[in-house]
């Protein structure tokens, strides 16, 4: 599973991730979003999450996820990958200081 591999890879480092959901069709259940938003181990490692997409349906799904996640991690939706990269870099530096 992605979650376990990511946690094993980074050990106890604090990281940010960028999910590029460009021109894809995806489905995420409420239970899967709740799992990731309530997963303490994952959220202790992954402090910043950016979703980059150009599809309205994915933006709506991502917005729902971001609202669930708000209290546990810093997450944002982007139309542009470069903006997402800059935002993750800026925000992961802030997360590392706190």
* Rounded Cα–Cα distance for residues 67 and 82 (Å): 23
Domain boundaries, the chain: 13-97
pLDDT at 70: 66
pLDDT score for 69: 64
Q: 72 to each of 20, 22, 24, 46, how far by Cα in Å? A: 21, 25, 27, 10
Q: How far apart are CA 18 and CA 49, in angstroms?
A: 6
Confidence bin at 98 (pLDDT 50/70/90):
low
pLDDT in tens, 20-70: 887 777 677 778 777 877 888 888 888 899 999 988 888 888 888 888 766
Which residues sit opposite 48 in a β-bridge? 16, 74
């Amino acid at each position: 599973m992605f979650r376990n591999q990511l946690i094993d890879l980074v050990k106890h480092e604090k990281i940010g991730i960028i999910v590029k959901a460009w021109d894809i069709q995806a489905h995420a259940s409420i239970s899967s979003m709740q799992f990731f938003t309530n997963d303490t181990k994952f959220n202790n490692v992954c402090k910043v999450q950016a979703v980059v997409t150009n599809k309205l349906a994915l933006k709506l799904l991502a917005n729902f996820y971001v609202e669930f996640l708000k209290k546990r991690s810093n997450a944002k939706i982007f139309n542009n990958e470069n903006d997402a990269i800059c935002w993750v870099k800026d925000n992961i530096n802030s997360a590392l200081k706190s």
